[in-house]
Amino acid sequence: MEDVLITGGLYLSYMFLAVAALGAIVFPIIQIAKNPKGAMSSIIGVTAILIIFGISYVLASNEAISKFEANYKMVGAAIISMYVLGIGAIGSIVYVEVSKMFK
């Protein structure tokens, strides 16, 4: 009986994940169709994040740093991307606050 509940819960979570993924894909496409000019900023943002991750992937090392088998290059790229995006977020906050002081 317990196995049936676990399996049923697992399939239910897969169903919710599929519905969420479908919604995350379909609704932005609908918004882009309604307002194509407004979608340009989103496309620029996604492109910038992809470029940052691509550069991070090139800079990442393939050297194993732990005993676990994993894709070290991808993990290194994710860490570098996190650093770059974090520094960018802090920089943008500082820029906004400083620019407010001069207005």
Q: Which tokens in the block code for residue 72?
A: 């070290």
Supply the pLDDT for residue 68: 54
How far apart (Å, rounded) are the C-alpha atoms in residues 53 and 61? 14
What count of other Cβ atoms lies within 10 Å of the Cβ of residue 80?
19
pLDDT bucket at 17, cuts 50 / 70 / 90:
very high
The pTM assigned to this predicted structure is 0.48
pLDDT bucket at 5, cuts 50 / 70 / 90:
low
How far apart (Å, rounded) are the C-alpha atoms in residues 16 and 63? 37
Supply the pLDDT for residue 64: 61
The 8-class DSSP code of residue 73 comes to H
Which parts of the chain fold into alpha helices (H)?
Answer: 2-34, 39-59, 72-101
Please state the rounded mean pLDDT for residues 75-80: 83
pLDDT tens-digit map of 26-76:
888 888 888 877 778 777 878 888 898 888 888 887 766 555 556 677 778
What is the domain partition of the chain in residue ranges? 1-34, 36-103
Supply the pLDDT for residue 1: 59
**Is 29 exposed, middle or buried (CB count within 10 Å of its CB: 0-12, 13-18, 19+)?**
exposed
